[in-house]
């Protein structure tokens, strides 16, 4: 069985008054989460907290670590968290518009299941090559896919933060579910857009390929985003496969 080493770091950034990002790493239960709250004031922070707490609640009950069972639990975490966020909004109308984007990565013996909603991202470094394995649920990304705008223009487009899919928006939540095998030396990065809006993929790849330990890599990712301006909350969660 592959050993997994987890590390995570979150920071308020240079411009925001509070941190609406949340993350959890749980080596024993072999899962991790990065969630980015939206809605302003305390509401976004509440939404991301609900997702993190719900994921822990779902995964802490013992279950057989098969691919299908892990997939079921990932789906359940998203569905239940979405219900809880909508219920909170119903009881607190002043929090209307709150929600969160989220990444949930969970492992079984030789594979992973990833749930993804919104413009937070998951990357995989494998064989010295970094690739984004999630697709942003944004208006601009949709326009890229429809060849309305170019990928280069999308990077600095004024509407790049218009999110088309997030928890807390609709009763029916569409979750992207990715599955795959894991290999020794794989390195996963779950992050909020506070990192990727500030730091390019080439820079991220270079840092992840360095000889630094995993905790220092997470810290350096956040530092790099802050040094580039820190326009938003920044979260980076790393998992390396031994």
Contact predicate 165/174, CB 8 Å? yes
Q: What is the DSSP letter of 22?
A: E
Average pLDDT score, the chain: 93
Read off the pLDDT of each residue in 44-48 and give the average, rounded to a whole number.
96
Name all domains of the chain by residue range, CATH numbers in brackets.
4-241 (3.60.40.10)
Contact predicate 168/85, CB 8 Å? yes
For the segment 91-109, what is each residue's pLDDT rounded down to a tens digit? 999 999 999 999 999 999 9
For the segment 74-95, what is each residue's pLDDT rounded down to a tens digit? 999 999 999 999 999 999 999 9
Q: Which pLDDT value is given to residue 137?
A: 81
Residue 163 — pLDDT band, cuts 50, 70, 90?
confident
Helix ranges (DSSP H) in the chain: 43-60, 67-91, 139-145, 151-154, 193-196, 201-209, 214-227
At 224, which helix (H) or strand (E)? helix 214-227
Closest C-alpha to 168, from 66, 53, 90, 104: 90
Read off the pLDDT of each residue in 202-219 and give the average, rounded to a whole number.
98
């Amino acid at each position: 069985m592959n050993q997994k080493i987890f590390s995570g770091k979150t920071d308020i950034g240079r411009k925001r008054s509070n941190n609406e990002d949340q993350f959890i790493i749980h080596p024993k239960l072999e899962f991790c989460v990065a969630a980015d709250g939206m809605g302003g004031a305390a509401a976004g922070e509440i939404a991301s907290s609900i997702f993190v707490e719900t994921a822990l609640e779902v995964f802490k009950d013992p279950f057989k670590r098969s691919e299908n069972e892990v997939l079921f639990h990932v789906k359940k975490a998203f569905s239940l968290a979405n219900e809880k966020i909508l219920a909170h909004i119903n009881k607190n109308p002043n929090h209307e518009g709150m929600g969160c984007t989220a990444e949930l990565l969970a492992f079984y013996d030789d594979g992973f299941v990833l749930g993804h909603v919104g413009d937070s991202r998951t990357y995989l470094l494998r064989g010295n090559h970094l690739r984004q394995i999630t697709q942003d649920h944004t208006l601009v990304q949709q326009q890229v896919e429809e060849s309305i705008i170019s990928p280069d223009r999308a990077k600095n487009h004024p509407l790049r933060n218009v999110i088309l899919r997030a928890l807390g928006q609709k009763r029916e939540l569409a979750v992207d579910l990715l599955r795959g095998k894991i290999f020794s030396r794989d390195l996963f990065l779950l992050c909020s857009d506070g990192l990727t809006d500030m730091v390019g993929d080439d820079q991220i790849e270079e840092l992840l390929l360095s000889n630094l330990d995993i905790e220092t890599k997470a810290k350096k990712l956040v530092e790099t985003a802050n040094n580039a301006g820190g326009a938003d909350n920044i979260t980076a969660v790393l998992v390396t496969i031994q």
